[in-house]
Every structure is written in structure tokens, then in C-alpha cells.
Structure 1
Amino acid sequence: MQIVYERCAGLDVHKKTVGACLLFPEQGQQHKERQTFSTMTPDLLRLRDWLKQHGCTHVAMESTGVFWKPIYNLLEGHLEVMVVNAQHIKAVPGRKTDIKDAEWIADLLQHGLLRPSFIPPSGPRTLRDLTRSRSTLIEERSRVIARLQKTLEDANIKLASVASDVMGTSAQHMLRALVKGELAPSAMADFARGRMRAKREQLAQALTGHLQPHHRFLQAEHLAHIESLEEAIDRLSAQIAQRLAPYEAILLRLETIPGIQRRLAEIILAEIGPDMSRFPSAQHLARLRRHVSGQP
């Protein structure tokens, strides 16, 4: 079979160790050299030096959890690094049962049989970390709101049946008043603003429940947690906006697509980067979701 890369290496990545198999020509013969490194930064730098000393040009590894990321970060810019979906490697026929993972990856790489996952450049990867962290916090906020509503239902407080958004300004005033336990339901209903003022009688009934001390405590904890999450989301959004400022024109163009607002536009740009020349066609871009390594 034709050799595509003469000097290349396969990496078998684990939490604490990296097994490496280096393939290179010597005196007209193909040679194999194996070493094991720890995943501590000094040892990964030793791995990088070892590969460079042997003239290695290409390296491949499976997208194992998040363990590939530090290795990729240290090798990027020094070697061509491929991160490959584990299922793709398993699907290639011809593997012998006694061959080591690193050796098999190196062999496939040498003969051009690996299809790399799309890894954005360093800048978009940083943005992706930020947007994904923000998405995680937004999801957590939704879960805490659900727990808050469960606590209210347990106390027979039916605020969610009247207010369309229990975290709206008016509803939050009512929730904090419930925690204090100092006002009558009709007085709390007077916190209603805008269109909700027409529902004050219904609100007074909804705010009449069987609220126990532990309900008030849990409600206060949930509200504090939600507030903390919202502050963290705002800080992340500010950091994301700052880093995306040079790409404002691209964001505005994305927002012209029906259904895409600013936050989603930021996520799209963070996931694929601003350089569309990486994608030969719209179909290649549409298939990206299946091949991005490390996706949840």
C-alpha cells in the first residue's frame, strides 16, 4: 500500500499516559519506535521534542474525552495534528488482534486512511469554550427554575398558572415577598406591572398557599442560585462580545438568517470559525456536526 506520510506517529491517549508509536524510514527500511509519556506538561513537551527530533511531520490520535486537548494544544503549530473519531478508526478493516492502538493509528495515518475531525484554530476554540460554558450555565438556570417551581407547587403556590414567566420582574418581586412572609397575598399581587395588573385578583388567589418555613428556605436558596447564575452568564456574555468585536459584520450577516439571533450567531461563529474556505461546499459545512470531536 502506498505510503503517504513517511515520518508520522500515532498516539494512544489516556488520562495519565500517552502511548506513542513513531514510524520513520532508515537505511531503506521502515522503522518503528515506541515510547510512553505521562500527560503532565513537562512530559508532553518531551513527547513533542522526541517527535521533532525524528523529523515527524504528522501525528494522529483519537478524540478521547477531553484528554486529547492538552496534547493538541502543545503540538499545534509544530506538527500537523489529526484528531480522529474513534468509531472511524474502528471501522477500518484489517487490524490484527495483537497490534497496539498507537501502532494501528500510526499505520493508518502513514497510508492516508484517516479522516480528521474538524478542529477550529486556537482563537475560535477559545470562543467555543466560552460559549459552551455559557450554554451550560443557561441550562443549569433552567433546571434551578424548574426546582423553584416544584417547591412552589409543593406549597400550593400557583404563580406559574397566572404569570407566563415566573422569573419576570413582577413575579420576582412576589417571590421575594413570599420568602419574607410579611405581606398578604393581595398586597403581593399589587407588585404586578403592565398587562399583569389586570390579573391581580387571580394573582392573589395563586399566591395563597400553604407555605412552610422549609419552603421559604428552599425558595430563597433557589432565587440566590438563579441570581448567581445570571451574573456568571452576564460575565461570560461580556467576554464573548469583547472577543467577537472584530467579527461584528459576520455576526450581523448571520442574524439576517430567519431564526438566528445574536446569541445563536455567536455560538455558530465560535463552533465553525470565521474562515469558510475550510469547507468546499455547503454540504461539507452541514455535515460538520457529525465530525466535530469533543462534541457533547
Structure 2
Amino acid sequence: MYEKTFRGINNEFLQLQEIKNGNSISFNQEHLSPLIFIWVKGEKSNITFEGSKIGIVSNTILCLNSFDKIQFTNLDNARIIKFNREFYCVLDHDKDVSCKGILFYGTNQLPNFQIPQEEVDKFETLWKMFEVEMQSKDKLQLEMLQTMLKRFIILCTRMFKVQNQLIKLDTEEIDIVREFNFLVEQNFKTVHSVKDYASLLNKSPKTLSNLFSKVSEKTPLQIIHQRKCIEAKRFLRYTDKSIKEIAYEIGFEDIHAFSKFFKKMEHISPSDFKNTTLGTIATSSGTKA
């Protein structure tokens, strides 16, 4: 496994990894809440993410947050870029890279896209530049690495927009969609209606519905409900919290209302879901991130 790490004097952290089948992907707990790009290079990779098995084609890039849990099977090889907020904050630099709410900090369970064959050389060149600059030790190294990461993020953002129909919208409309996704991610436990999110955006609920109808099969309300359900499943899978505690955590004061909501979304009760996944987790194996 190839691995190169940059650490700056102000806790800046950037890591490049190149892994082969059987290598593990893990987080450096020293650096809280890293963001991760995984560039899957192999032809026959499969992942399990939030309980769902997904086939991954060659030259797919996955965008993950530190709380995402992912398992690889049949992984041929992959390249990984991890960085923390101190190295490059995508929220502070959103005007530059425009990835908030789509690549990171959005409602999409697993943002990903495939690099078109005619664009692969751009990513290969940028990766080589990263590797070369990792060897530098002068005062400009941090700035150079940040510039290359910024370029990488911009390339990813452009391709994601094309492959997810966002180019059907103008820039202002895309920004509304991104901001809605970001607001849901930040507030889904306490803000539950489309009307409330529309108010935060100074838009009407109808405007939001019209925008999402152009680029998504899901309505704004379905997106809100999906995000609450994702969080509920994470609590059920990975914590010992009671169903009552989980219901309260995601904004339900009534356990019966939560159970009804969960069963409508997943076609299984929360208790049955927890009992089913406990056995799955206990016997699971593979490469994790």
C-alpha cells in the first residue's frame, strides 16, 4: 500500500493512499471529521454502504464524510485523498469550489460519479502532481497542495453536476438546491417541513418543488424524510440506544409516530430492523472506511 501524508504546523492534514485488494481503509482519529475522495480504479469492485450492496465501475469517485461506513469486496485498486478542515475547508471556500450540498454536507447518501474516459488523463496528471509535491519540503508546499486539492474538487464538482442533471438549472437555481441539501443535512433533526426550509431560503415551497422536479425523482419532502431515515438506521445499526432514544434524537416525541414513519419508509419495524442488522454486522468482513 502506498501512503504519503502531509502535516502542517496548524494541524493541516492531507493524505494520499493507493490500496490494493485486501488493504484496509481507515480513519486517522487524530484528525477529526476528515473528508474523503475514493477513486476506484478496478473493473469489478463492489461496496456495501448503509446496508445496500452497490456495484462500482472503473474510474468511479466516491465522496465520503468521516461518519460514513463502507465495505469493499472484490476491490482491485483504489486511490484515496483524505483532508481535514484545517487543510482546506470546503464550507469556507464554497464560492471557489461550489461542492457544499452535493459532494459533501448534502443529503445524498453516497455522492459519486464516473470519470468519463476522455477526462481520465486530467485526474491521472493531477494525482502525479500530488505525489511529486508531497516530496517538497519548502515553505510553498502547503499552498501548492491546497491549490491542487482545490483543482481536484472543482473537477469533481463539474462532473457530478453533469451526471446528476444539475446542468439543467442555472447557477442561481443550482445554489438553491445545494443550500437546501446543506440545510437539511444540518437541521433535519429539528426542522421537518418543506415550508420551514423554504422560509430559511427566502423561497416558496412551490419554487423548491419545481426545481427538484427538474433534477430529481425525489420531492423536497421525500429528501427530508430520507435523511431522517438514514440517521435512524445508523443509530439502530451502530449504537445501543433504545428506540425511544433514537426517536427523540431525530425529532419524534412519540415512539409510535417514529415506528409508523420508519415502517412506512423501510417496510420493517425499527426493532425488527435492529435485530436483523445486528447479526449482519457481527458476521461482516471486508475493507472499511
TM-score category, normalised to shorter length? under 0.3
TM-score, structure 2 normalization: 0.28
Pick the structure with greater CA Rg. 1
Higher helix share: 1
Higher strand share: 2
TM-score, structure 1 normalization: 0.27
